[in-house]
């Protein structure tokens, strides 16, 4: 009898447990089956505006001019007049090199020039006398006149060749004097007295000196493709540097490359900055702030309203209570908004929190006004 009671009790408990499990399973399925679309879709009306958007870009300050000075002939360093940090003026002698073989060649070329000059002077005098005598009819034979004329022309040509050879070696001798190409500061020196130097390309030697013009700097920026049409030559760019965060500087756009970099898809822009007091140094990183404003008003939408998927970039518009995907393209970016361009009109309502899950034709409840 007890066995029967236990059996009935176990069956009752088992049935109750199964019933509860089924109820929980139905509840879970019911929760999962509730589609996200059942949640009300919040919409917002859009209207055109024309805010001033600030684009923040990192740029680099470069010297307006920079030149690496190399030796042009094989030589030795004879004299050094400058060192790192020295300011120089155009044409100032920075370094003197020595090449004894060039001085020897120069002296030889000069002697050849003088010797040929003496020969030409004698030939020319003889030529002048014969033509003077030829003023008397029949005094000089025509063959003699032709010969003296040919000799004069030959000696003159040899004299010009000797002069050219001397000038060529003299130019090489002038290469031994290294001068400043422009006003600036010496930023590097890689040789000492007595060092052997040779032209660039023979062994990849370092430059003798590096000269930079730091009185004017070039602020170089890579502006993204979407923003290039906002910037024009003459516009002002404000920037700061990390080493002097308390100061704010301004530079004026002077050059635009007119093309995009293949890797960055950005246009190179340079702005000139007069470095008064030499506060800033070349190759500092500049944190710029560039104001971007259209000539006409456009649409700005919440960032959450824009969908970027494999199907494209779009917003979801409320079209008489139905969801419609409207393709758009992005423009300027603000902290919480995107500028968009597409088939939109003032007063259109778009879904604030859009996603790929929202299908075309989904019902959108009327907004409370």
pLDDT digits (tens, 9 = 90+) for 8-40: 444 544 544 445 545 455 444 444 444 444 456
Residues pairing with 57 in the sheet: 288
Least Cα distance to 326 among 338, 314, 318 occurs for 314
Predicted local distance difference test score (pLDDT) of residue 30 = 45
* Domain 297-351 in this protein, CATH class: mainly beta
Q: What is the CATH T-level fold of the domain 100-175, as seen in this structure?
A: Helix Hairpins (1.10.287)
The percentage of the chain sitting over the pLDDT mark of 70, rounded to a whole number, equals: 86
pLDDT value of residue 200 = 66
> Domain 213-292 is of which CATH architecture?
Beta Barrel (2.40)
Cβ(288)–Cβ(241) below 8 Å: no
- Average of pLDDT values for 262-267? 88
pLDDT band at 268 (very low <50, low <70, confident <90, very high): very high
pLDDT at 358 over 80: yes
Distance of CA 343 to the CA centre of its chain: 36
Query: Maximum CA pair distance of the chain?
Result: 174
Highest mean pLDDT (candidates 19-23, 38-42, 163-167, 262-266) = 262-266
* pLDDT higher at 88 or 201: 88
Q: What is the mean pLDDT of residues 267-271?
A: 94
Residue range 304-319, pLDDT digits in tens = 999 998 889 999 999 8
User: Would you state the pLDDT for residue 368?
Assistant: 59
pLDDT over threshold 60, residue 204: no
Percent of the chain past pLDDT 90, that is, above it, reads 40
Helices assigned H by DSSP within the chain = 2-33, 100-133, 142-174
Sheet holding 93-98, edge to edge: 177-179, 93-98, 75-80, 196-197
pLDDT band at 201; cut points 50, 70, 90:
very low
For residues 350 and 355, what is the distance between their CA atoms, to the nearest angstrom? 12
Contacts of 163 (CB under 8 A, 6+ apart): 113
Distances (CA, A) of 265 to 59, 237, 309: 16, 21, 21
CA contacts within 13 A on the Cβ side of 232: 4
Element containing residue 70 per DSSP (H, E): none
Dist CA 48 CA 282 (whole Å): 43
Q: Residue 179 CA to chain centroid, in angstroms?
A: 29
Question: Residue 139: its pLDDT value, please?
Answer: 65
Whose CA is closest to 333, among 296, 274, 290? 290
**Rounded mean pLDDT of 249-262?**
92
Q: Mean of the pLDDT values across residues 216-238? A: 90
Mean pLDDT across the chain, nearest whole number?
Answer: 83
Contact 283, 61 (CB under 8 A): yes
Rounded to whole angstroms, the Cα distance separating 288 from 310 reads 34
Cα separations in angstroms, 15 against 1, 6, 90: 22, 14, 104
Give the start-to-end residue ranges of the domains of the chain: 100-175, 213-292, 297-351
Q: Count the neighbouring beta carbons within 10 Å of the beta carbon of residue 368.
A: 4
């Amino acid at each position: 009898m007890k066995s029967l009671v236990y059996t009935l009790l176990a069956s009752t408990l088992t049935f109750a447990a199964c019933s509860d499990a089924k109820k929980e399973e139905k509840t879970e399925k019911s929760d999962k089956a509730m589609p996200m679309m059942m949640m009300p879709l919040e919409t917002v009306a859009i209207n055109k505006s024309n805010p001033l958007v600030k684009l923040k870009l990192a740029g680099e300050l470069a010297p307006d001019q920079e030149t690496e000075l190399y030796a042009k002939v094989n030589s030795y360093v004879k004299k050094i007049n400058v060192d790192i940090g020295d300011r120089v003026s155009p044409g100032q002698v920075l370094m003197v090199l020595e090449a004894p073989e060039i001085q020897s060649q120069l002296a030889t070329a000069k002697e050849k020039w003088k010797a040929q000059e003496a020969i030409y002077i004698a030939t020319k005098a003889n030529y002048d006398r014969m033509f003077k005598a030829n003023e008397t009819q029949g005094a000089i034979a025509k063959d003699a006149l032709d010969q003296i004329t040919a000799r004069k022309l030959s000696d003159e040509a040899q004299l010009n060749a000797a002069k050219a050879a001397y000038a060529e070696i003299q130019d090489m001798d002038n290469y031994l004097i290294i001068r400043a190409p422009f006003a600036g500061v010496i930023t590097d020196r890689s040789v000492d007295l007595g060092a052997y130097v040779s032209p660039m390309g023979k062994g990849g030697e370092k430059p003798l000196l590096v000269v930079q013009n730091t009185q004017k700097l070039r602020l170089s920026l890579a502006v993204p493709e979407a923003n290039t049409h906002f910037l024009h030559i003459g516009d002002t760019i404000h920037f700061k540097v990390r080493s002097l965060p308390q100061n704010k500087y301004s530079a004026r756009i002077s050059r635009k490359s007119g093309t995009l970099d293949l890797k960055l898809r950005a246009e190179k822009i340079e702005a000139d900055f007069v470095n008064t007091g030499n506060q800033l140094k070349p190759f500092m990183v500049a944190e710029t702030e560039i104001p971007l404003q259209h000539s006409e008003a456009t649409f700005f939408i919440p960032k959450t309203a824009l969908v970027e998927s494999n199907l494209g970039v779009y917003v979801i518009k409320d079209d008489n209570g139905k969801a419609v995907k409207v393709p758009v393209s992005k423009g300027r970016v603000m902290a919480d908004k995107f500028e968009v361009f597409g088939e939109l009109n003032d007063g259109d309502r778009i879904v604030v929190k859009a996603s790929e899950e929202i299908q075309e034709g989904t019902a959108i409840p009327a907004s409370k006004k």
